[in-house]
C-alpha cells in the first residue's frame, strides 16, 4: 500500500476503543500492543482476574453470550476481535451487524469444531491425517481399520491435549468415547511424526498476507513446550508450510491473525489444526520480529497496513507451566507462594526475554508465562534456552 492509499483508506485511528473477546494471555499481549499503538481496549471475560482484563482500559466481567454486555461493547467499541476460539460464533455474528469483526463468525465457527475444521481443510484440497467422524458408538470402526492406532478427539472445546485419548483398537475407542460422554468426536490416525511446524500469518480485508517464518514446535504431554524459529528443517518444507497456510487463509477468506499447525511425516506435510487468533507458537514474534503477531492483529482490525513479519534474530521460545511451581515443592503442604520459580536465574541470561501472564494461581498444565531467547547464533540460543529451562524447573523429556 502506498502512503497515499493509506491516507485515503478508512482507518480506525487511535485512541479508538477496540473490543477483545477473551481475557487470557493472548488477549493481554493484544492489550499491550494496542496500548503501544495508542488504542484503548475493552476486554470481555467472565473471570475478574483475567490476565487481559486486569490491564485493559475497561473490563466487562460477563459471559461471552451475555446480551447486555455485548450491547454495551457494541456501543463503545469500534472494532472487535477475539483471542479465544471457543467464543460463541453467534456473539461475533451479533457484533458484526454494527461493527467490524475479525476474524469472522464463520471462520471462528469452523476453527472451533474439529469436524467442520477437518472437512474444510480436506475440501480445500489440503492434506490432513486420515480421520473418521464419530457421531455415535456405531461409527467407531472395528479393529481391522487402518485408522488404529488412533487418537480420539472431541470435536468441541479441546485444547492443550485435553479431550484427547490415544486408542489402539475399537474397545479402547469405545471406552474413551464413553468417557467423553459420547460427544461428537474425530478419530484420527496416529502418525509417526518426524516434526511439527506452524505458520502464523495475518491477512487483511484486501487479501494481503504477511506470514511469519515457519516455526518448529515440540510438545510435552500434548502442550507446546518449545518453539524454534526459524524451523531447523529444509527450505522446501518451510516454504511448503507457508504456501499451505496462505492457501488455507485464502480459502477461508480469513481476515485477522491465523495460526496453522502442521505435522511432518517423512516428506509429507499435513495440516493438523488451525487457530483463529494469534498462536502460542507465534510468541517468538514479540522479541524476534519487526512486527509481532499481536500488533498485526491490531493492524488488521483497524485497517492499518500490515507490518513487516521479518525475523531480526533467531529465537527459541519456551513455555512456563504451573508445573514449575510444583516441582519446586519439597512437600505437598508447602505454600504455593514460597514456590516461585527462580526468575533471577532467567534474568541472568542477557538475551533472554521473560514474559509472565499475571495469573495468580499456578496449576499443573496451566500456561503461566514463557521466555524467548534471541540471538544471531541459533545453536547458542537453543543452548541458553535449555539451561534456563532447567533453572526454571521445567520438566525434562
Which of 100, 112, 242, 272 touches ligand ADP (CB under 6 A)?
Answer: 272
Q: Determine the distance from the C-alpha atom of residue 127 to the mean position of all C-alpha atoms in its chain, rounded to a whole number.
A: 21
Which of 17, 133, 193, 354 touches ligand ADP (CB under 6 A)?
Answer: 193
161 is an interface residue for ligand ADP by CB under 6 A: yes
Report the candidate in 152, 233, 159, 148 with the shortest Cα–Cα distance to residue 198.
233
d(CA 273, CA 260): 6
Report the candidate in 135, 137, 136, 130 with the shortest Cα–Cα distance to residue 151.
130
Return phi, psi of residue 378, to 5°.
-65, -40
Please, which residues have CB within 8 angstroms of residue 330's CB and are 6 or more apart in sequence? none
> Smallest gap, in angstroms, from Cβ of residue 321 to ligand ADP?
14
> Smallest gap, in angstroms, from Cβ of residue 162 to ligand ADP?
6
Using CB under 5 A, which of the segments 34-42, 116-124, 254-262, 296-304 binds Mg ion?
254-262
Which of 47, 66, 160, 268 touches ligand ADP (CB under 6 A)?
Answer: 160
Cell numbers at 237, concatenated: 518444507
Give 79 or 317: the residue with its C-beta nearer to ligand ADP.
317
Crossing angle of helices 293-302 and 25-36, in 10° steps, is 70
322 is an interface residue for ligand ADP by CB under 6 A: no
Q: What residues numbered 205-234 form the site for ligand ADP, per CB under 6 A? A: 219, 222
Give 194 or 377: the residue with its C-beta nearer to ligand ADP.
194
183 is an interface residue for ligand ADP by CB under 6 A: no
Give 83 or 261: the residue with its C-beta nearer to Mg ion.
261
Give 196 or 204: the residue with its C-beta nearer to Mg ion.
196
Residue with cell 527459541: 316
In a 3-state reduction of DSSP, which class is residue 74? helix
Cell numbers at 54, concatenated: 486486569
Give 196 or 323: the residue with its C-beta nearer to Mg ion.
196
Amino acid at each position: 500500500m502506498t502512503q497515499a492509499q493509506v491516507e485515503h483508506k478508512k482507518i480506525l485511528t487511535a485512541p479508538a476503543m477496540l473490543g477483545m473477546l477473551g481475557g487470557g494471555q493472548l488477549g493481554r499481549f493484544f492489550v499491550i500492543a494496542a496500548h503501544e499503538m495508542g488504542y484503548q481496549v475493552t476486554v470481555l471475560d467472565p473471570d475478574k482476574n483475567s490476565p487481559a482484563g486486569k490491564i485493559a482500559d475497561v473490563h466487562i466481567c460477563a459471559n461471552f453470550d451475555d446480551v447486555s454486555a455485548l450491547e454495551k461493547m457494541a456501543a463503545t467499541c469500534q472494532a472487535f476481535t477475539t483471542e479465544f476460539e471457543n467464543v460463541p460464533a453467534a456473539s461475533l455474528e451479533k457484533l458484526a451487524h454494527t461493527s467490524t469483526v475479525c476474524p469472522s463468525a464463520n471462520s471462528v465457527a469452523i476453527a472451533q469444531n474439529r469436524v467442520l475444521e477437518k472437512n474444510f481443510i480436506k475440501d480445500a484440497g489440503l492434506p490432513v491425517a486420515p480421520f473418521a467422524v464419530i457421531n455415535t458408538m456405531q461409527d467407531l470402526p472395528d479393529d481391522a481399520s487402518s485408522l488404529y492406532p488412533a487418537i480420539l478427539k472431541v470435536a468441541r472445546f479441546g485444547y492443550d491435549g485435553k479431550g484427547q485419548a490415544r486408542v489402539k483398537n475399537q474397545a479402547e475407542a469405545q471406552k474413551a468415547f464413553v468417557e467423553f460422554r459420547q460427544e461428537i468426536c474425530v478419530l484420527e490416525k496416529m502418525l509417526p511424526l518426524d516434526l511439527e511446524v506452524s505458520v502464523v500469518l495475518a491477512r487483511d480485508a484486501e487479501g494481503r498476507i504477511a506470514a511469519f517464518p515457519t516455526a518448529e514446535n515440540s510438545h510435552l504431554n500434548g502442550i507446546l513446550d518449545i518453539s524454534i524459529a526459524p524451523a531447523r528443517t529444509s527450505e522446501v518444507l518451510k516454504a511448503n508450510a507457508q504456501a499451505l497456510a496462505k492457501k488455507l487463509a485464502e480459502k477461508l477468506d480469513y481476515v485477522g491473525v491465523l495460526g496453522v499447525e502442521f505435522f511432518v511425516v517423512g516428506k509429507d506435510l499435513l495440516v493438523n489444526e488451525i487457530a483463529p487468533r494469534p498462536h502460542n507458537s507465534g510468541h517468538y514474534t514479540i522479541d524476534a520480529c519487526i512486527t509481532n503477531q499481536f500488533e498485526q492483529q491490531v493492524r488488521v482490525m483497524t485497517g492499518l497496513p500490515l507490518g513487516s513479519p521479518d525475523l531480526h534474530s533467531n529465537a527459541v521460545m519456551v513455555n512456563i507451566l504451573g508445573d514449575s511451581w510444583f516441582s519446586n515443592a519439597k512437600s505437598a503442604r508447602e505454600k504455593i507462594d514460597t514456590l516461585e520459580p527462580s526468575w533471577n536465574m532467567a534474568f541472568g541470561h542477557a538475551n533472554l526475554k521473560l514474559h509472565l501472564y499475571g495469573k495468580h494461581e499456578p496449576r499443573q498444565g496451566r500456561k503461566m508465562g514463557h521466555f524467548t531467547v534471541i540471538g544471531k547464533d541459533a545453536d547458542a540460543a537453543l543452548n541458553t534456552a535449555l539451561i534456563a529451562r532447567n533453572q526454571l524447573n521445567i520438566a525434562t523429556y
